[in-house]
Structure 1
Amino acid sequence: MKFKYIVDHENRGRTVYSILREEFEFSNRLIRKLKRNKLIFCNGTQVNVRYVLKTNDIIEVNIDFKETSENIEPVKMDLNILYEDESIIALDKPAGVVITPIGVHQDNSLANGIMYYFQSKGVQTKIRPVNRLDIDTTGVVVFAKNAYVHDMLRKQIMANQYERKYIGIVHGCPVEQTGTINLPIARCPNSIILREVSQSGAPSVTHYTVIE
């Protein structure tokens, strides 16, 4: 993924750093990585972030530098890929599979399969899950292919701009055939998975239809 910025008369005198931070919205961590890999250019020449810009200067940055998650072993898996482009890959996670290696799941997580898939395609990047699902939950999991996209999508989640929809099977049968439950939910005490209705919880809307 490449970024390009042409300096106009009003922005002369600014530093490269200010353009990277304010116009490209790069994090300081990403800027440090770009500096370390010497991937910041102005008019085709590698420059320091303190470089003071002139009118018509052209800043160019390629953020697809090589990196890897050394603690994740590549393992061949059958992946159900729903969507993929140069920025993200979205998969259907089956129940019983964790997102990243943890505990006894060091070589059978979704990240292990993604690592193998990336390597088979010649893609050298870290494994960056954007969202997570519990081990027993099946659904869409998105991985970002670079730090910039990961940061942008995480900001959307934090700003509640990331819509999540769940389909669940419940015990019992509601009186109404269809309906909506609009009640806030929060984590149950002493549980990292279970949720309960709580006035101090996050907004939650459930639309239901009785099937059988």
Structure 2
Amino acid sequence: MFCEDACLGYSCGLDKIRTLNDKLNAEVIEQINGSQELVMLTNFARESNEYHYKKSLQERISDVSSWRWVLEDLSKRLEEAIQVLKYEENALRVVVERIQDEIENHSKQGSKPGAISPLRDIVEEAILQEYNFLREEKRKFERLLPELEKQIAQVEKTKQRIEKDILIKEQAISVDENCVERNYSDIAVDANWKEKKKKCVSLFLHLLF
């Protein structure tokens, strides 16, 4: 009788152990499935974020490249404008020099004995008028020269700023292109997932040993 009861007790205890073991195994499987699902969600979120991040970078590269092309074209146009202004400045200086030569020639003619006398004729009147006209034109051209120099300096300053902006945009494009080409698959998952994985492995090892 005692032996039968003992056997029955042993059988009941074994059933409880098996039931507990099955329950724990189910919990482990549930934890593993949950962990796998978490890994899948984490990978999906990471890939989604990486896609949107790279897409934003590519759009930024496109925008910056467009602005760079616009600025490069503007820089070329400003360089052409600078060359035109310098050409006009040189031409104006040549005109002033020629006018000065004409004035000096008229002055020499006027200083000759009998030239531009009180009884001057029509030719002398014309010479005097031309002399006064040349002097006035020279003053006008001389006033234009500083304005041309000022315009050239302003255009060159603007061109330098644009070239600096172009360089900055080229550097920004280089950085963004490196970011787009980078592989983000080796980035670690967050700390919560690591902690959950550690608990799951510990529980599984506890059941085994």
Q: Which of the five TM-score ranges fits, normalised by the shorter chain?
A: under 0.3
Q: TM-score, normalised by structure 2?
A: 0.16
Whose strand fraction is larger, Structure 1's or Structure 2's? 1
Q: Indicate the structure (1 or 2) with the bigger Cα radius of gyration.
A: 2
Q: TM-score, normalised by structure 1?
A: 0.16
